[in-house]
Amino acid sequence: MQHMDVIILQKGKEKAVRNRHPWIFSGALASKGKFLNGAIVEVQSFDKQVLGYGFWDNNSQIVCKLFHFDKKVVFDQSYWFAKFENAWSIRSQILDFTETNVFRALHAEGDFLPGIICDIYADTAVIQKMMEGLEFVQNDLVTFLKTKNIKYFYSKTNKIAGKNSDLVEGWLEDKPSDKLVVKENGLLFKVDIENGQKTGFFVDQRDNRATLEKYCKGKKVLNTFSFSGGFSLYAGRAGATKVISVDISKPANDHCAQNFELNGFSLDHQEITQDCFSYLREVDEKFDVIVLDPPAFAKSAAKVMNAARGYKDLNLLAFKLLNAKGYLFTFSCSQHIDKVLFQKIVFGAAADSGREVRIIKWLNQPSDHPVNIYHPEGDYLKGLLLYVE
């Protein structure tokens, strides 16, 4: 086990930690420290009371992320295995692995293990470390996942881990020889782990894609920011008369076409390689169902205002293209835009459109992306299903 250093908080800065919030910012420290990245540090209040234990990170303003708030224990393999097994048990209860073998097995703060994300793709695990120095946890995670019949392991870097980050991306052991194909709610998807966005597939939209399927029979569907065609495939299986998938990436559209072929769908489907804002401004046809699933527009609090304008413009364009009695599935994955602000943004777009709009359902991240109740920032994906008259 790594050497354990001690950090002390300023007086008055311990309240959040006592409430089990896992983040400690550099400004909360009584004195500046610099330890090995990933080192386990003991967190103490100004009067030397032990508050918890966390991973140290020199590359971030969040200098420590806590994973343990109870009495000191030995942080050995059995400790990490207990966390992994608890997370796996939750997924095994909520998912039918015969119909869905792509899911999030470990969700950082949501599973009380900040700094580590792990997505499962059939017999392959993609492990994303959010900070340097967590190789000792990653190694135990690999050992644990082998007991769950996972054979291949890919370490994915995280671009927000810090500009000075030395995280290395690549296969940890053997590399699979065949192209990876996974199953989500019975649909087949090819996954490109090495070159795909996030860990290779947007595993957080599974439940929302299943919801969309209920509204697409006999409808004309537009899926913007379509990537590998997740929402498009569900619309196709539902019996949509026409599906258009728009993404600025030609490789993503090629990937989408391959997924349609893989599932044997023969409906009218078009992949359009174009900026989605430009497409929405220029297209001269209307749709019964539109999906807006853009990347995060606000990656920091300073960009919220610009992001809000972007989301409003996007939704206003969609409102203008919806047929009467149409449905809009609109999302934001920007952590810095909460549900209340997102609804206000969409309200502004609806008001400017002059349409009658009703909220049918709030859309969220699935239950394999649990939210730590002490860390509301983990509730990052928000969406609305709207009925537009």
Q: Tell me the C-alpha distance between 330 and 371, whole Å.
A: 21
- What domains can you pick out in the chain, each with its CATH number? 5-68 (2.30.130.10), 77-180 (3.30.750.80), 202-388 (3.40.50.150)
Percent of the chain at pLDDT > 70 equals 95
* Averaged pLDDT for residues 166-179: 84
Q: Tell me the C-alpha distance between 131 and 123, whole Å.
A: 25
pLDDT digits (tens, 9 = 90+) for 153-171: 999 876 555 555 567 789 9
Side-chain-side CA neighbours of residue 59 (13 Å) = 19
Confidence band for 1, pLDDT divided at 50, 70 and 90: very low
* Averaged pLDDT for residues 365-388: 96
Q: Are 330 and 363 in contact (CB under 8 A)?
A: no
pLDDT digits (tens, 9 = 90+) for 270-282: 999 999 999 999 9
Quick one: pLDDT at residue 195?
80
Q: Tell me the C-alpha distance between 127 and 156, whole Å.
A: 6
Q: Tell me the C-alpha distance between 222 and 212, whole Å.
A: 12
230-238 vs 250-263: helix crossing angle, rounded to 10: 30
Burial of 317 (C-beta count, 10 Å sphere; 0-12/13-18/19+) = buried
118 is catalytic: no
Q: Tell me the C-alpha distance between 218 and 241, whole Å.
A: 5
Q: Are 234 and 209 in contact (CB under 8 A)?
A: yes
Quick one: pLDDT at residue 299?
67
* Averaged pLDDT for residues 229-245: 97
Quick one: pLDDT at residue 298?
64
Of 139, 95, 133, whose CA–CA distance to 118 is shortest? 139
Q: Tell me the C-alpha distance between 251 and 273, whole Å.
A: 9
Higher pLDDT, 375 or 156: 375
Q: Could you count the other beta carbons within 10 Å of the beta carbon of residue 239?
A: 12
Confidence band for 64, pLDDT divided at 50, 70 and 90: very high
